[in-house]
Every structure is written in structure tokens, then in C-alpha cells.
A and B are shown apart, each in its own frame.
Chain A
Amino acid sequence: MSDNGKEKEQITLTIDGQSVTVDKGTTVLEAAGQIGIHIPTFCWHPKLDSIGACRMCLVAVEKFPKPAVACATEVMPDMIVKTNTDDIVKARRGVLEFLLLNHPLDCPTCDKGGECDLQDNVFHFGIDKSRQTFTRHRVIDEDTHTTFDDKRIGPEVIRNMNRCVTCYKCVRFNKEIAGEYDLGAYERGNHTVIDAPPGEQIDNFYSGNVVEICPVGALTNTDWRYKVRNWVAKKADSVCSHDADGQNITLWYDQRQLWRTTSRRNDAVDEGWLCNIARYGYQYINSPDRLKQPLIKKEGKQVPASWDEAIDLIARRFKEIKEKKGSVCLAGLLGGNQSVETAYLFNKFFRNKLKTNNLDYRLEYIDLKGSDENESYNCLYRAQFKIADLEKADVVLVFASNFIKDHPSVNLRLRKAYRKFGTQVYTVNPVETKSADISIDEMVYAPDMETAFVAGMIHAIIDNKLYKNIDAAKASEIKSKLTPESLAEAARMCGIEENRFVALAKKLAEAKYPFILAGDYLMASTKRHRTANGLYNIANLLGIPDTNAAILASQANSLGADRVGVRPNLSPNLTKTLEEKWGEAVPESAGSNTSQIFKNILDEEIDAVFVLGANPAMRYPDGPFVNSALDKLDFLVVADLFETATSLKADVVLPLAGWSEQSGAFVNLEGRYQRFDKALPSGPGIKTGIDIINAIADAMELPLGLNTAELTKEAKDIVDGFVRIPRDVNKFFEVRQAQIPEHQEYPYRLMIGNDLHHFGYVTEHCPSLMRFTPEPYLEISPNLAERLGIENDTLVRVESTTGKLVLKAKLSEHFEGEVLFIPNNFAATEVNSLISREGGGWVKIEKLDDK
């Protein structure tokens, strides 16, 4: 386990005559760094195990028989280290000479030029003469006398072996951090080749990092390669605009476009590692398909219009509806990756100016009967979980989340905890996930059995008397409010043996600092409030710390929108804060959440909706319902970057600026407020969400009265002032597994969600991500595929009560049995047409004979 928090033993040593006191376990290299002594390196990386391979960091240590590598030599008391003796300088110059022997010195055309460790070190050591008189060949195939050339070894990685200094950082990152094996070192000696395994390519979800950590130009990627010199590019501090982890990034751009993303290491969040979506997911901003001017529907067709025209029309119609039919007939839907400022202004506009509580940011999950206000769910959703705390965990249960997909940074932190601190991991999901390789037990429950599983866990805890802080009578009362009614029954329904529930329950009960983390499979469940009840009970029964039982938010600013109140119901505390800021009461009328808004449209109780940066027509997992509602709507305004399924239905379409085209902040899944700076401004004809809301409000003569600084401050104050109601340790809920709808004719459970390399509906506009997953597919288990005579790329018709689609099959070892998956990131494939609340996502499939 981690000894974080414990007082560490201090050690004093001398480096180049300066005394320094550091923690025991610190390396000489790190100790030197603390007093400003730079020791050059190639293979060292602060987050990777040191292998002492490049020999650039050699230092002289008194009483050591020969020079030692500073990167891997731990400090010892009274050690005397010299980093700059003649012998050491000669050794380093020797290393550089060796590295340059066969280096092509093609710096003028190398993308790494200007940020290359080899250039910098050679510059520093002033090596200007070469004693190498042979032809420079980094590697020669001795049979064919050929040299290496550039090779694309993955969708986004191009390898130039001639430049490689064989530091193995790329291979080590893959293995140590990501747990991936799609890159390796082949051959031996100076014929060593960095390559993907034969017949494979490096396409793992974190593969972009190998390009960033390459100290030279051996690994480059296509988005940056040969496009712009790094010293002329401008940089903006930013934050990933997709998932909720909030990976810290630097955007590189010039006057033309954004060019690349690099990490901006934040040890609290990402430790300097980016997933491919954070790295390449900026590219949609550059897309030529961006909306560039407003559109107004005239005689059933959307035609270009001026901003004035569009804003006037919106203002007029909103006013009309508000005055004639009342505020309750207006509603606002905000995307989960709009900034905190936009979200706050959106809230103020709807609540304070339009006087309606009909607004929501949760547009991607079906919600029934107001369960979004479910106490247990909200308590866990707003838990103040901290990513870095995972390093202190002894046992972690990952429940209903494909961690790598949902939470790339949390996933890596969990892998680190496992690898470095021996954290024990259990995963419980409807399909097998990447986390299987670090899991003690990877349990796969039958579709829709989330609640049965947690009920089973509660049975296991109570049956084995593993509970804390309650008596037996209370325990039996809790047990009496469970469906299924016994562990045996839960085990049968989930398809997981009883002893595995018990083993997990015991591990969690014995743990000193356990975590239960739930993710997108839970959110996608229409019965998530029931499951949340169960998780709440488990956390209380086992005395799991309040911050450590959490349902993790899914979008870049989901929690930001939640904090500033983009939802129909507000906590008393937030109501009070807002009323103080606005100087008047918030509307008293009951508000509608996303599902209720659609329902109210169908019931003709809502007439106008303003959708800002969201695409429910494509993403809401009940296509027939949402589309019939939007079609019926009297007046729909959509502001977005692209033409979407939703914008096509709109009466007014407004071109929206992307996150990088403005400054702002996101609140990540930890509740961490992180600012991002404006990079390249948007083109003419495109406006930010803030400008759009202000323009409409002004045109309605309802000015919001906040300049940029005031808006930023007010939004931040509200985020900072968030007060969460902690978990009530004495509270226990009923946990009832819901009936699965009848579906005899439709035997397979279809799940929809993000592809590993896509997020939401904008990543289709990122060419790099499209290289990883270019088209939608039907993911199917090999055993089911075999039974139906389906192979990879076989065309399959998927049919539900509400729709049908034809897709290529993709066999997946992660899938077992009757579960299917289709990504909902591709506009052309309306996956949500297959899903309805009544049908519950059950489908049948049929192999098509020929194309």
C-alpha cells in the first residue's frame, strides 16, 4: 500500500558541493533537480520506472567503483555526488558520440527540431566534430543492404528508426502505464527495432503518448508532422472538452488552425498522460464542415440568414410564447461540454429572465419518473471523489463502467495503484473490459441486472455479518427490503456464483480504504436510481468513506452544469445563492427534466426549446420518442458547431464557437474547477454560447447584465460555494430489481454508447480518431457470431420493435453470450432508433446473405 501521508525518512547528501535533504527513496537525479542541478537524460521519465539505459545521467559518487546512473541510484546518507567531473563529461560526450554515430542529422526536416533532447544535449556538450567515417545507417538489413525508412506502425504513429536513440520510453509507457503490448523492441544490439508486433499496429487508446514522450523524432504523428515548426506555433493552456476526467492539455496553433495537443501534466488529474480522444479530439474545431452562418427555416427549408435576422426571430417567438402561453412552455437543453460560464448564463437566462425551471444538461440518459432527483443517486453522483486518492486504495470495485472508455485518467490511476501499491481491483460489468488484466475477479452480470447485483452484495454482506455500525435487527430489516430476496436468487439472475459475491463483500469489508466507483453502464440504465440505492446501502453497511463511493460524471462539464444549476430542481442552498445574486426569487413553477420536456412537448405543454451544444435527436437513447417530440415542437432553436440530427429539425440554427475559441472553465468528475484559455478565435459568423445567450436576452429586452469578468467570477463563486449533503450513514434504501420487459422475439440485449476512440457526436469530425474507428459496427461475442454464421465484416440486420439497421459485425473477445453493442457516435447510423423505453433495448439480428 502507499505510504502517502506517512512521514518519510529524510536523507542529507552533497551534490556538487551543495547540501540537500530529501525523502528516502528519492533518486540522485531528482535530488539534484531540487537544488537546480540539471542532469541530462534520454531514457528517464518521471512517471516510468528507471532502467538506466541511455547512460547520459552518469554521475560520480564517492566510494563507488564506477560512475552510477543518477536516474536509478537512490540517495544515501552522506553521499557525495559530483555531476560535472572531467570523467563524467567525457562519459556523456561518449554517449552522445555513440548516439550520433548513425543518426541521420536530418534536423532541418525533423518535426522534433527545437524540442529534441538529442539536439539540446549535443548543443550543451558542444560536440561539433564527428569521428564517424562510415556511412550513417541506424539499421541496415545486412542481406538486402536496405536502410530503414518511415513506417506507419499505427493509425497515428509513424516511426523513423534512423532517429531512434533506443531509450525504450515508448515501449515502457505502453507496458507499465497503459498495460498494452502493441509495441515492442525487436532484434538485438544496434539492430534493435521499435515496432508493433507482426501483423498488428499500435492502436491502443493511449498510443498518442508514445509520440509525445519520444525524446527525438523517431515517433511522430500525422496531425503535426511536417505541418508547422514548434517554435512558431502559439500555445494555449486548455482542458479536454470531451469526457469528465478533465485531462490538462496544451493546444498548439497558429493563425490558420489548431495543430496539436500535448499534455500539461497535472499530477492530481492525469499525471501527464493523455488518452487519444484528449489528444486528437481537438480536431473537430478545424473541420471544414463547421456551420458558418445562421440558418432560418423558411417554407420547410433551412436557408442562410444574418445574425440579426436570426436573433430577432428567436427573441420574437420566445416572447410570443412566453406572453401567450406562459413561461412553462419554454425549455432549455444544454450540452454537457459547454463551459461553466455558458452553463451559468444559460441558467440565469431561463430561470431569471424567461422565468422557467425547464432546463437540463443530462441529455444522454433516459430518465423515468424524476429519478434524477433520487437522493441516493445524487449523493453518489456528487461525491467528492479524488482521482489521486486511488493511490491510497487497498480495494477498488469498478462497477458498471468500462473504465478505459468512460474515464481514461481514472483508469490509468487505478492501473498505477495496482502496479505500484498492490491495490486489489474487482470489476463488475455487463461485458468484460480492459480492466480484466488487473482484476482479481472480473464479474460479468446478465443484461440489466445492475440492481440484482447490488442487492446480492447486500445479502452477502448481511448473511456473513460483514456490516459495521448497525445491529442485527437493523440488518434484517434492510435485508427484508431487497429484491431479489436472497443471495442465491441474485446469483442466479446475474449469472455470477454466490461465492464471488461473498469474496468481494469480504474484501471490501476488510479493506482500510476501499472505493466503489460506478460509471456509464449505470447511468445508461433506466433503473439507475434503484441501483444507486443499493450502492448507497453497501457504502453505509461497510463504512466506506464518503468520498470513496461515487458515480462518476461523464462529460467535460457535467458537474459544472450541475453545480451552477442547469437542472429543474435546485438544492435549497443553491436556490439561496442564486436568489442573492439575482436579487429576486427563482420561479416557483415545477421544472421539467430532459425526459419530461420531451413528454411535455408531445403533450403540447412545451412549445419552444433552445438546444445549446447538444444533439439529443442522435444521442438520447430513445430515438422514436425524442424525434417525435422534436418534430412536433413549435419552435426549435439549435446552436451547434455542426449540422446535426437535431439542428436539421430546427427553426433557427446558430453556428456555435468551440471550447478552444473562448476562455472558460470546466468542472471535472472530481468537482475540480479547471480553466482553459482561448486559442485561435472562431471565424466570422460564429459566436460563443455566451454571446448567443446575451444577444437573445438583449433582443428580448431582458439583459443579463454581466460582463465577462463578472460572469466568470459569479460562475466560479457558485462552483466554489457548492455544498454537498454528505451520505447519511444511518440511512438505508429499498433495493428492488425491476422486471425485464417481455422480449421473446427479441433475444439480444443491445447496448449503445461511445466507441473507444469516439466521444459524443463531434469526434466524427476528427480525422485522427476516424483512423482508429472509421465507421460504426455491431460488436458481437464470438460464440453468438459462430452460432449465427457471422464473421468479422459480415453484414447484419439489427431489428427492434422500433427500427432496424444494417451494420458490419465485429467479433469481440470481450463479449460473451447475448449482449451486443453499437457505438452511437456516427450520425449516419441512427442507433437510438432501435432503443425505446418500452422495448428496453432488446433486438433480434439476422445475417444478410450478401452485400
Chain B
Amino acid sequence: MAQELVFFKYIDDPNQHKIDTYIEHGGYQAIQKVLKDFKPPDVIAKVKESGVRGRGGAGFPAGLKWSFVPQNTGKPIYLACNGDESEPGTCKDRVIMENDPHMLIEGIMICCYAINAHHAFIYIRGEFAFPAARVEGAVNEAYAKGYLGKNIFNSGFDLDVVVHTGGGAYICGEETALLSSLEGSRGNSRIRPPFPAVSGLYKCPTVINNVETLSSLPSIFNNGIEWYRSHGTEKSPGTKIFSLSGNVNKPGNYEVDLGTPLSYVINELGGGMQDGHKLKAIIPGGSSTPLLMPDQIDTPLDYESMAAAGSMLGSGAIIVIDERCCMVWALMKLINFYAHESCGRCTPCREGTAWLKQLINRIENGEGQQGDIELILDACDNIIGRTICPLGDAAVMPTRSFIKHFRDEFEYHIEHKTCKVKTDYPFV
């Protein structure tokens, strides 16, 4: 059976980003239905029932998140749409923002109506100039049609949407740092509690949802819960975009039902291993997730199965590594990224990631010392679970996983001052 598409249904239509085309394709019907037929709590109930889970990485049920928003504080409620897609390997939100921005806007409208928000902010990473321009254009079109602003579709519901671009920091994809940045401050993460749902943007109740999460909402209200739940698994319903990269023949973004085997994405959609090389390891959910090994290639791509396999579905960025890749080098690239992107707020992440970077670079450069591996692992113990936000964990998880599965390569590096993997690797 051919995969039914939600996000990529009109991916081939070059005019899909335009409001008229979007409307032609049935756009802005869901929000009209919602405004006409639903009370806000019913929208939340419906979304809970659909089982749609946050697509930013954590997989937290969206409807449940919305239900945490207190409605009687006298403060405004905000929605912050997280379009700061920065996890290495991930490029799914970008496609939605570029090709179908109105789907996102319609999703934002549904969410805002449900949580009683009248201001939504779309936070887009600074490097995404083109997607940001597309979203901004779409917001302007929506305003021009009266779909945003006051009294939307004569429902009495008001909503303003602001597009805000970041300054180019990975950390601003972390929800509390995103809020700091949105407020005009340095992008530092904040301690929780209080959770943003209670005290977020400007200390007001705030929902933060990923672009993909919000974009899935129109299809739920257009096609119904049953239809939505017919995709994916019981606990991970719906479709999801996977960003496939690394040593495969056809890297790219692929939308499949959750629960689809990883092997299907790599071998069928991705055209198999690059030039017939041998699979060595897979980073399944963005660079911070632990490795899957070749014997785990049939793991279904859903939150539960990935967790059972010892990794995470994460943001759905699948990075395929073949036998030519030196894992010390690969880890060095990752840790350099995390050390560079640590915001500097809390000690273990700020100092720890920089130390890991020094140690792993030393091993990669043939200057490793006996005991370095143990030192790295011990430093990891002092970082993970000790930091304000998950960035520290994100640096530790691949470090532990790489050493766990490929310790021999690290030891070889230290002992022989050179690399065990002798072949030319295309990305070095």
C-alpha cells in the first residue's frame, strides 16, 4: 500500500506555499470547522484522543501539554512555535516551512484557539532565511485574507502571529532558551519548574510546540481521529518525517507512518547503503541519540520501539554510518558541535563539554593517553543528569554510546597513535 502523506501531500506543487493554492487543496477548512463546531476544551480533548505526540524530540503528547495551561491566571497565554530546527541531521521542519507554511499557520490557529492564546510566535533559526521568508510571506497572506487578526472567520476569535528569527544558536531550540531569546535576552535555558505551561514567555503560561506537531493538526480535524490513528502505532500514531542522511544512496526527507521499520527507510526509500558499503552504525534520532547497531536495523520507528532498542526516536534524523568511518573521528565531530553550542549557563555542560572536546580531539589526533577513556566516561557521569537543560545529556549520550560500541577503535587510537579504520571516508 502506498504511504498516505500528510506533510508531503503537495510537496511537488511549486505553489503550495501560496494561500490560494493551499485553500484550493482544502486548506483553512479545519480551522473553520474547529471555530464553528468546537469549544476550546473539546479541541484539547480531540487532540488528546488523536494521540499526536510532540515531534521536536521528546514525544510528549500534545493535547496533554495543552491541558497543563492554567486558564484563570489573568495573564495572557502564548504559543511559541519552535522552528529552530538545529539538531544535526534534522531538516524536516524546514521543508514544511518552505513548502507548506499555511499548514503550519492553520495548525497554530487550532492550537491557539484550544489554549485561549491570542498571540503566537514562530521562532525560526537564524540560518533559515528562506524558510523564514516563506513563513513571513504566508503570515502576511493570512492577514490580508483576514484569517489572522481580529474576529477570525467571524468567530470572535482573535489571533496575532509574529515571526521571529534567532541569532543562530543550537541552544535556542531548547524550549526555555527559546523563550529567553524570544524575550530579547541571551539564549540561556532556564530551570524547570516552573514549567513554561505555567510560567513561560514573559512569565505567562506558554505552550511550545514543534513545527511538525502543529502542522499535523489540520489533517486530524479534516480527516478525523480514526483516520489519524489508522496511521502509526497504538502509542505513536500518525505519520512522521524522517531526515535520512549519511552513507545511503538517496538521502532526503521521507514521510512514513510511525512504526515503519528502520530498514525500510534505509533500504527501500534511501536506496540502500552507499555504493554497497557495509552498515556500521546508525544514529537514529538526531545526533544526540545513542547508536543503533546493524543487527537492530529492523527496529520499528516509533517512540516505544526505539526506547526499547536503547535509543530514541528523537527528531527523526537518521544518520547512517558505513564501515569506512572512524568512530573516534565521528564522535569528535559531534562533541565539537556540542562544546561549541553549550550556552555557558551551567557548569557541567559549559566546562564538561569543553573538556570532553579536548580529550576526544586528543585521542583523534594521536595524542591520547592511557586512562583517557575512563576519564571521559567519568566526566560524562558528572555531566548527565546534572545540567539545566538536555544539552549536556545530548553530548554525553553519543559519547557513551560510541565508546560502548566501538571502544576498540578508541583504544587503538590511544595505543597506536593512529586510526584503525584506514579507508578514505567521503566526509573527512
Contacts and interface: CB of A to CB of B under 8 A. Distances in A.
Interface in A283-302: none
B350 A190 contact: yes
Interface in B306-352: 339-348, 350-352
Given A55-B347, A166-B344, A190-B342, A98 B190 contact: no
A310 interface: no
B346 A54 contact: yes
Q: How would you classify the secondary structure of chain B's contact residues: helix, strand, loop or mixed? A: helix
A66 B355 CA distance: 23
A94 B348 contact: yes
Nearest to B350: A190
Nearest to B383: A94
B341 A189 contact: yes
B363 to A, nearest CB: 13
A189 B343 contact: yes
A544 B375 CA distance: 67
A173 to B, nearest CB: 15
Contacts of A812: none
A69 B191 contact: yes
Given A55-B387, A72-B191, A189-B339, A94 B344 contact: no
A56 B341 CA distance: 22
Interface in A162-192: 165-166, 168, 184-185, 187-192
B382 interface: yes
Interface stretch (A45-53, A450-458, A575-583, A616-624): A45-53
Contacts of B375: 131
B386 A189 contact: no
B358 interface: yes
A90 interface: yes
Task: Determine which residue in B347, B352, B383 has the highest number of CB atoms from chain A within 10 A of its CB, and name it.
Answer: B347
Given A52-B191, A58-B386, A67-B385, A188 B342 contact: yes
B169 interface: yes
Contacts of A95: 347-348, 382, 386
Given A94-B382, A101-B355, A189 B347 contact: no
Contacts of B347: 53-56, 95, 98-99, 165-166
A51 B191 contact: yes
A91 interface: yes
A192 B344 contact: yes
A98 B345 contact: no
A90 B341 contact: no
A67 B386 CA distance: 7
Given A51-B345, A58-B386, A188 B169 contact: yes
A782 B98 CA distance: 47
A231 interface: no
Interface in A53-102: 53-56, 58, 66-67, 69, 72, 90-91, 94-95, 97-99, 101-102
A422 to B, nearest CB: 11
Contacts of B354: 101, 189-190
Interface string B360-396: 0000000001000001000101110111100000000
Nearest to A74: B193
Contact of A50 (B191, B352, B358): B191
Contacts of A165: 347
Q: How would you classify the secondary structure of chain A's contact residues: helix, strand, loop or mixed? A: loop
A191 B341 CA distance: 11
Interface in A95-138: 95, 97-99, 101-102, 131-134
Contacts of B346: 52-55
B186 interface: yes
Given A52-B191, A166-B350, A185-B344, A98 B387 contact: no
Contacts of A99: 347, 351
A102 B350 CA distance: 12
Contacts of B350: 98, 166, 189-190, 192
Contact of B353 (A90, A132, A184, A189): A189
A98 B352 contact: yes
A114 B84 CA distance: 46
Given A51-B190, A67-B385, A98 B348 contact: yes
A781 to B, nearest CB: 29
A165 B348 CA distance: 11
Interface residues of B, number: 32
Contacts of A98: 347-348, 350-352, 355, 382
A56 B191 CA distance: 14
A167 B350 CA distance: 11
Contact of B381 (A50, A94, A187, A188): A94
Contacts of B190: 51
A69 B389 CA distance: 13
Interface in B190-241: 190-191
Contacts of A132: 355
Nearest to A132: B355
A190 B385 contact: no
Nearest to A138: B351
B344 A187 contact: yes
A98 B352 CA distance: 6
A91 B382 contact: yes
B186 A133 contact: no
Task: Determine which residue in A131, A189, A191 has the highest number of CB atoms from chain B within 10 A of its CB, and name it.
Answer: A189
A97 B348 CA distance: 9
Contacts of B191: 50-52, 69, 72
A653 B190 CA distance: 62
Contacts of A56: 347
B388 A189 contact: no
A94 B382 CA distance: 5
A189 B340 contact: yes
Contacts of A190: 339, 342, 344, 350-351, 353-354
Task: Determine which residue in B345, B354, B385 has the highest number of CB atoms from chain A within 10 A of its CB, and name it.
Answer: B345
A69 B345 CA distance: 14
A95 B383 CA distance: 9
Given A97-B382, A101-B355, A184-B186, A189 B342 contact: yes
Contacts of A187: 344
A677 B150 CA distance: 67
Contacts of A58: 386
A66 B385 contact: yes
Contacts of A131: 375
A848 B354 CA distance: 58
A101 B353 CA distance: 12
Nearest to A65: B385
Contacts of B386: 55, 58, 66-67, 91, 94-95
A188 B343 contact: yes
A717 to B, nearest CB: 50
Interface in B19-67: none
Nearest to B339: A189
Interface in A18-52: 50-52
A452 B382 CA distance: 66
A188 B348 contact: no
B81 to A, nearest CB: 24
Nearest to B340: A189
B170 to A, nearest CB: 10
Contact of A52 (B340, B351, B382, B388): B388
A538 B350 CA distance: 56
B345 A53 contact: yes
Contacts of B169: 188
21 contacts: A52-B346, A53-B388, A55-B348, A66-B385, A67-B385, A94-B348, A94-B383, A95-B347, A98-B350, A98-B351, A98-B355, A98-B382, A101-B355, A102-B351, A166-B350, A184-B186, A187-B344, A188-B343, A189-B344, A189-B350, A190-B353
Given A51-B345, A189-B342, 7 more contacts: A54-B346, A55-B386, A91-B382, A94-B379, A94-B381, A189-B340, A192-B350
Interface of A: 50-56, 58, 66-67, 69, 72, 90-91, 94-95, 97-99, 101-102, 131-134, 165-166, 168, 184-185, 187-192
Shortest 4 CB-CB contacts between residues of A and residues of B = A94-B382, A98-B351, A192-B344, A189-B342
